[in-house]
Structure 1
Amino acid sequence: MIHYNSEESINISSDLATMEIPKLILSLAIPAIIAQMVNALYNVVDRIYISRIPEIGDMALTGVGVCFPILILISAFAQLVGVGGATLAAIEMGKKDIKKAEKMLGNGLTILLIISVVLTFFFQVVKYPVLMLFGASSSTISYGIEYLSTYLWGTLFVEITLGLNQFITCQGKSKIAMISILIGAGLNVVLDPLFIFALNMGVQGAATATIISQAVSAIWIIRFLLSNKSMINIHKKDLILRKEIVVAIMALGISSFIMSFTECVIHTVFNSGLQKYGGDYYVASMTIIQSIMQLVYIFSNGITQGVQPVISFNYGAKQVSRVRSAYRIGFISHITVAWVSCMVLMFFPHFFGSIFTNNEDILDIVTKMLPIYICGWGIFGIQSAVQCTFVGLGQAKISLFLACLRKILLLVPLALILPHYLGSLGIFIAEPVSDILAALTAGVIFKIRINSILEK
């Protein structure tokens, strides 16, 4: 296998060090946004097709919806390793230490393999009680079991695709990272109707299509990271776990993990609460709202993937002025996208809900509740920008606190308390209240800490 030596790698990464910051971020963010948009198709397309299955569509959609916390948890572990390892690798590349960056990659791959095996067999064993806990009912549990039983066998492919693709992005190769996602998601769009309708496999067909698609993406990513086109390569010697590297990856990636993992907790609290105070239609409406929010996250996550490698690389290279330029553009972009998304969804809730269902009862709930659910998102762009900056700077403790603040300290308690007084409405109100409080807190912390961090 041919791979780059240190000097060649440094020359290849010169764009991260020398290109004008706005142009650089744009070149990274646009492919990342496209990749995020296509990646969201995995779950969104599944749900659109499932909701159209004759006679059972609405109940099947609800059954698959209660699987969503587990899918989020699987993705959260990929974020734990991918964000933590790739950010550290970018910082080391900025320091011109390619060998250490490759150690981050190798250890990251080993961690992902171990996590995949554990998650697969754990959830295969406990899937029934877990799905009931997540809000399934006697009418919907069979669809959830059918979907999850198949999907779990593809956990390895999900972990590799979402985790290792970050190591491509951190090199500034966002177009390659985009192609990695496009290949799988495009295949999924083609295979879904084939397995669901043509082969009459229903929700099991949707899961099968996803597994095959993720497997193709995973193979593509591994091949790239083994090739001489990658600035950092996978080596057998780097697969051996080293305690200091594992701890460093986990410490920095934990904030991204918690942000994703707490989505699992939130979905559990939301679905169980809505099942109690509203019933299956309210659970279905939340599934649709959260599917719509995935489309919003596309732009936020894409901006983060465009800004964060620039911050990390130049922080490692001690180019403070470029770091400041990068996070300022990040702030403007995150806040603008948040406001635009907020306005669009508040004014056109029925249109977005109708993408997922024709059931007027469910659509009525979505139309009433989506504007309430989204109304705090405009200001939440501040937290997205702050979190992106602190993770890019390798600030594990601050990132961890901000990740815990919004969901664990604010959203979960509010979602448990407010329904006692407001019924199902309280669950939808909990979201904007936590968004606003978390964003304001993040902004204050950033103002206090950023100069001292960069001066070091």
Structure 2
Amino acid sequence: MAKVSSQELGNQPIGKLLIKQAVPASIGILVMSLNILVDTIFVGNWIGPTAIAAINVVLPVSFFIAALGMAIGIGGSSIISRALGSDNSVKALKTFGNQITLTILVTVTFVIFGLLYINDIVPAFGGKGTIFQPAKTYYRIVLYGVPILALCMMGNTVIRAEGKPKFAMYAMMFPSVGNLLLDVLFINVFEWGMAGAAWATTGSYILCFVFILWFFLSKNSELKINFKHLGLDKPIVKEIGALGFVTLTRQAIVSVTYLLMNNILFDLGGETSITAYAIVGRMLMFALFPVYGITQGFLPIAGFNYGAEKFDRVKKTIITAIKYAALLATLIFVFLMIFPEAITKLFTQDAEVLLETPPAMRWVFAATPIIAVQLIGSAYFQAVGKAIPALLLTLTRQGFFFIPLIFILPKYYGALGVWMAFPISDVLSTLVTAYFLHREVKLNLNTKVIE
């Protein structure tokens, strides 16, 4: 029964299949994003606006370490999807075992390093002045649970690679709801402040891990590994590393961006500007959930059919995914252009933050309708195992364009220049991705030979 499920990736109509994969992914991302959003609203109203800024300082560090698990997960899941597509279950099982071992070894090492240098890392990411102490409190507690989060993120991608999107959705929903309940208990009832917010987050990671562990031990998963699969296999580790490096680089760039943005905005506008960025950042994670869901749903379909050498289905998957994602992105754009003031008021009633955040939000989301091409285009190369193009396209938006722009534009436009950098980098990276995706389809997917 489980085997039939993964084979559906190569047989069902593309439109129906993409919806079947993307809707659960979107719902899972929505619930997770709502969790982050409501968590920020709780923190802002129950602790204060400085607490929002403190969490924003910690996020890039904890997310980067957790992204090690996601990188290993996505890199390995690309191998698993293609292995299942070519009916190579032995390689799929060995890959999954290697993913588990790598995730534990790498994330625990980084957490130890992060705790040892806590007093240097927190200020480096913008935790200065009144932000330092609450950021340090949150950072220490959340970091304890980050290896568990990394295992969850790795496992979630493997569940999707098996063609089980509903279970991947549940894995994201349960901890999100649990985090909100723990927020109410620890912050509002027990009055633990920042420590309460941190323990609620760590507790949610544990809930997620328990569910994912149950999935792989139950009959729902076709990947039944044993201890022999946990031993590292050099060729598989190398392939996981090459493909996972794309995701890791993407998250590393995000973390570097947070570091730079927090420091640049602190110099330009102090805690108020960092808080505005934190609110806009939450909306970036929340508002685009259906677009990210389409991207997540796209990955296993493209990878499976590429492994099965069904190139017409791969092309159709690309076109359909871009159409769906572009439509959703346009609807999101319209909503955010109309209601930024009302959205900001959900987080805080601070007058200075209410003044700065809405125009910033409009600038940040100004190019949203076109981002589908960039997201799907870079995801395609990763799905089919082409690590170098995937890496370069991943770097285009934030690495090649955004980071240079946030140094150049503020010299002429002040804080406004920081916000202007978002849509400009979106447009430039989309043009680059569109060129290489078109070239790939024309040269490789119109043939019957995989290079």
C-alpha contact 1:225 1:232 (8 A) present in aligned 2: yes
1:128 aligns with 119
The structure 2 residue matched to 1:31, chosen from 4, 24, 29, is 24
1:80 aligns with 71
Superposition map of 1:386-397 within 5 A:
386-397=377-388
Q: For 2:165, give the aligned amino acid.
A: S
Whole-Å separation in 2 of the counterparts to 1:424 and 1:146: 29
1:62 aligns with 53
C-alpha contact 1:72 1:261 (8 A) present in aligned 2: no
* Per-residue deviation, residues 12-44 of structure 1 (Å, max 9, x unmatched): 423112111111111111111011111224432
Whole-Å separation in 2 of the counterparts to 1:84 and 1:367: 37
Q: For 1:381, give the aligned amino acid.
A: A
1:20 aligns with 13
The structure 2 residue matched to 1:302, chosen from 289, 293, 296, is 293
1:4 aligns with none
Superposition map of 1:256-271 within 5 A:
256-271=247-262
TM-score by length of 2: 0.96
* Per-residue deviation, residues 110-135 of structure 1 (Å, max 9, x unmatched): 11101221121111122222221212
1:49 aligns with 42
Matched, 1:428 2:419: yes
Shift of 1:440: 0.6
Q: For 1:375, give the aligned amino acid.
A: A
Q: For 2:301, give the aligned amino acid.
A: V
* Per-residue deviation, residues 264-319 of structure 1 (Å, max 9, x unmatched): 11111111000011111001000000011111332222111211111111111111
Unaligned runs of 5+ in 2: none
The structure 2 residue matched to 1:242, chosen from 219, 233, 246, is 233
1:106 aligns with 97
C-alpha contact 2:377 2:437 (8 A) present in aligned 1: yes
Q: Percent identity?
A: 28
The structure 2 residue matched to 1:231, chosen from 217, 222, 231, is 222
C-alpha contact 1:105 1:233 (8 A) present in aligned 2: no
Whole-Å separation in 2 of the counterparts to 1:332 and 1:75: 31
Superposition map of 1:352-363 within 5 A:
352-363=343-354
Shift of 1:9: 5.3
Superposition map of 1:167-246 within 5 A:
167-246=158-237
Shift of 1:341: 1.6
The structure 2 residue matched to 1:338, chosen from 318, 329, 333, is 329
Whole-Å separation in 1 of the counterparts to 2:139 and 2:12: 45
1:158 aligns with 149
Q: For 1:405, give the aligned amino acid.
A: T
State which drifts further: 227-236 or 17-26. Answer: 227-236
The structure 2 residue matched to 1:417, chosen from 408, 413, 436, is 408
C-alpha contact 1:46 1:192 (8 A) present in aligned 2: yes
TM-score by length of 1: 0.95
Whole-Å separation in 2 of the counterparts to 1:317 and 1:22: 19
The structure 1 residue matched to 2:135, chosen from 144, 147, 161, is 144
Whole-Å separation in 2 of the counterparts to 1:404 and 1:439: 12
C-alpha contact 1:74 1:155 (8 A) present in aligned 2: yes
Secondary structure of the structure 2 residue equivalent to 1:355: helix
1:5 aligns with none
Matched, 1:11 2:4: yes
Cα RMSD (Å): 1.4
Unaligned runs of 5+ in 1: 1-7
Secondary structure of the structure 2 residue equivalent to 1:279: helix
How many corresponding residue pairs?
Answer: 447
Matched, 1:325 2:312: no
Secondary structure of the structure 2 residue equivalent to 1:52: helix
